Amino acid sequence: MSATAEETPSAAPSTTPGNPILEVENLRMYFPVKSSGLVRRTVGHVQAVDGVSFQVEKGTSLGLVGESGCGKSTTGRMVTRLYQPTGGAIRFEGKDIAQTKPGDLKPIRREIQMIFQDPYTSLNPRHTVGAIVGAPLAIHKVVPRDKILPRVQELLEVVGLNPEHYNRYPHEFSGGQRQRIGIARSLTLQPKLLVADEPVSALDVSIQAQVVNLLQDVQKEFGISFLFIAHDLAIVRHFCPEVAVMYLGKIVEIADRDTLYERPHHPYTQALLSAVPDVKQAAIGGRRERIRLQGDVPSPINPPSGCRFRTRCQFAQEICAKVEPPLLQIGPRHKVACHFAGELGAHPATPVTMDVCGVDAQGSPVPGATPVEQLNKPGFDDRWYDLKTQQFTGR
């Protein structure tokens, strides 16, 4: 297939300006690995997050999903600037905060808050609930001292706790109530963006839904945008209109909810989804067959060449080891990073990415071919790559 003008780098899609509160572009976090002994030299890097791009629209939620160790928390901690990224951009309301110096982060800390996974370790056991929830007000001096307590009580009420319990200590509360305290604390400064890092994973299944409902109410009431991190696709389904799936430091698929849950195109998303009980299919007597992933997740210190999922992928071919599949937009709100992207049972026999990557079916460079560049942009474009025609098309 010859490369048309439409497929050249200059015709590469430019991102449509939507209304993002957060835009993350090519974000990377490499943790140094040190040798043991007296002189501790850097002997390698954990590529915890490696070139992640996404955006969160104002007032909505993006779900970030993947197995343990794929880099979700590290991404969340960079967005809240608990970590300084190794590279890439974090544009919050248009301003890049990726390399803002620690001393200048105070205003950002008010706007972006985090809810942590473990309500047992994230609350200081020696402080009362009033002190925990009120601390940000005191630090940021947003209300006079005598107004802190009424504000704390108001927040406790918002999260469904008794406002008279401000003098109690965290150990006097159950896990679900503690997470409500964590949520109250995250709301104290009226943030615009909340990064919720597996906010219900540590809770009993019976109370997970209550806490998710509370977060949904909070979002409606205060118009807060969410980056909602979870390790399984079931939790984010009702909360997030858009979901990104991560594997070993990279996003492998990102799409609107309907597309991701009903027509996933990446073998990893398909495997994750096969583990989610499908109410609709069960209702008609059908069952989605469970796809068991082979082997373990490889080390992010020395990830596989080409596609990082290839060591566990049943569709892997030669090209997968040679060429990294780009996160290609294949529909109005759908991107996937797979050379053989397709619906389950309909993965193509030849790679769909040959033109885009400028390679042949085995992944060897085609002389004179021009790979499409700049595919790793946050958000979606008006034009995308049609898998059937293998041409760029659009609205």
Ligand X SMILES: Nc1ncnc2c1ncn2[C@@H]1O[C@H](COP(=O)(O)OP(=O)(O)O)[C@@H](O)[C@H]1O
Minimal distance, residue 389 CB to ligand SF4, in Å: 20
Q: Which is nearer to ligand X, 59 or 69 (CB)?
A: 69
86 binds Mg ion (CB under 5 A): no
73 binds Mg ion (CB under 5 A): yes
| Residue 178, both tokens | 């503690």
Q: Which of 97, 193, 243, 338 binds ligand SF4 (CB under 6 A)?
A: 338
φ/ψ (deg, to 5) at 287: -140, 140
Query: In one letter, which amino acid is 18?
Result: G
Encoded one letter per residue, x for contact with Mg ion by CB under 5 A and - for no contact, window 19-38 reads: --------------------
Instruction: Determine, following the binding rule CB under 6 A, whether residue 320 of this chain makes contact with ligand SF4.
Output: yes
User: Which of the listed partners (ligand SF4, ligand X, Mg ion, none) does 46 bind, with a CB threshold of 5 to 8 Å by partner kind?
Assistant: ligand X
Min CB(359)–ligand X separation in Å: 30
Closer Cβ to ligand SF4, 72 or 250, answer by number: 250
Taking a C-beta distance cutoff of 8 angstroms, is the pair 226, 194 a contact?
Answer: yes
Q: How far is CA 19 from CA 92, 112, 193, in A?
A: 11, 17, 14
C-alpha to C-alpha distances, 69 to 66, 195, 214, 310, nearest whole angstrom: 8, 17, 27, 17
Distance CA 341, CA 87 (A): 28
Q: Rule CB under 5 A: is residue 15 a binding residue for Mg ion?
A: no
Phi, psi (rounded to 5 degrees) for 36: -85, 175
Q: Which one of ligand X, Mg ion, ligand SF4, none interacts with residue 202, CB within 5 to 8 A by kind?
A: none
Calpha distance 191→142 (Å, rounded): 13
CB of 225 to ligand X, least distance (A): 20
Q: Which of ligand SF4, ligand X, Mg ion, none lies near 325, with the C-beta cut-off 5 to 8 A by kind?
A: ligand SF4
Examine residue 122 and tell whether it contacts Mg ion (CB under 5 A).
no
User: Which residue, 128 or 201, has its beta carbon nearer to Mg ion?
Assistant: 201
340 CB burial (10 A radius; 0-12, 13-18, 19+) = buried
75 is a contact residue toward Mg ion (CB under 5 A): no
- Look at the block and give the residue holding tokens 């991107």: 335
* Binds ligand SF4 by CB under 6 A, chosen from 339, 342, 354, 357: 339
Q: Give the up-direction half-sphere exposure of residue 270: CA atoms within 13 A in the CB hemisphere.
A: 21
Out of 46, 70, 212, 316, point to the residue binding ligand SF4 (CB under 6 A): 316
Nearer to ligand SF4, 92 or 340 (CB): 340
Q: For residues 227 and 307, which CB has a smaller minimum distance to ligand SF4 in the complex? A: 307
- By the rule CB under 6 A, 156 interacts with ligand SF4: no
| Count of residues interacting with Mg ion (CB under 5 A) | 1
Give the 3-state secondary structure of residue 123: coil
315 near ligand SF4 (CB under 6 A): yes
Task: Name the one range near Mg ion by CB under 5 A: 27-35, 73-81, 203-211, 251-259.
Answer: 73-81
* Helix residue ranges, H only, the chain: 72-79, 106-111, 129-140, 148-158, 175-187, 205-222, 233-236, 257-262, 267-274, 279-283, 318-322, 354-357
- Residue number, 55 or 73, with CB nearest to ligand X: 73
User: Considering beta carbons, is residue 79 or 387 the nearer one to Mg ion?
Assistant: 79
Residues that bind ligand X (CB under 6 A): 31, 46, 48, 66, 68-74, 300
Paired tokens of 277: 């009980």
Q: Which residues contact 191 (CB under 8 A, 6 or more apart)?
A: 110, 111, 112, 113, 224
Binder of residue 310, out of Mg ion, ligand X, ligand SF4, none (CB less than 5 to 8 A by kind)? ligand SF4
What sign has the CA pseudo-torsion 255, 332, 238, 313?
negative
Q: Give the nearest distance from C-beta 197 to Mg ion in angstroms.
A: 6
Name which of 221, 216, 246 is nearest 233 in CA terms: 246
Give the CB-nearest residue to Mg ion. 73
Which residues lie near ligand SF4 (CB under 6 A)?
267, 307, 309-310, 313, 315-316, 320, 325, 338-340
